[in-house]
Amino acid sequence: MSLWSMKEVTRITGATESALRYYNAKGVLSPTVRENTGRRQWLYDDETVGKLKKLFLLKYIGVSIEEAGIAICEEKEFRRTIMKSLEELKKERDKLELQIFIAQTLALSDGMDLLTADDEMDEDKKLLLNSVIRECIKEGAK
């Protein structure tokens, strides 16, 4: 088992020392602390460095630091957290795809009346566009 100093971990992972201190303070990722000639030294074993890498990836996909901290310690929670995040990302993707479609429709209409643009669309796209317009009207009325 290798033990890595905080400086080595920052070099290996790209994490900052302040981030490592923050994760420790939050109880998310704790180093092994050794007293060496009156000086505290934070050391990280291979397993902890692996958890740090998972933590970064979980944060990247939008998982909160608290949830990520639990997930990296419990295999069952790790899978549950990933699946929950995956579902949220898929919903966000679907919303973005719809927004892109609307933006493209507006760009292609180039200021024309949307009813004119509507005539050039296939039936599914017309229904989708009109359903979005109805939703926007409902939201605007609130």
> pLDDT (tens digit, 9 = 90+) per residue, 87-108?
999 999 998 998 888 887 777 7
The two three-digit tokens of residue 46, written as one number: 């291979």
> pLDDT (tens digit, 9 = 90+) per residue, 104-124?
777 776 656 665 555 566 777
The two three-digit tokens of residue 112, written as one number: 């024309």
**Cβ-Cβ contacts under 8 Å for 80 (sequence gap 6 or more):** 71
Q: In the 8-state DSSP scheme, what is residue 14?
A: -
Question: Which strands form 3-5's sheet, in the order they lie side by side?
Answer: 3-5, 39-45, 32-36
pTM above 0.85, yes or no: no
Evaluate if residue 140 carries a pLDDT over 70: no
Residues in the chain: 142
> pLDDT (tens digit, 9 = 90+) per residue, 37-80?
677 788 999 999 999 999 999 999 999 999 999 999 988 999 99
Q: What is the pLDDT of residue 128?
A: 77
Q: How many CB atoms lie within 10 A of CB 137?
A: 9
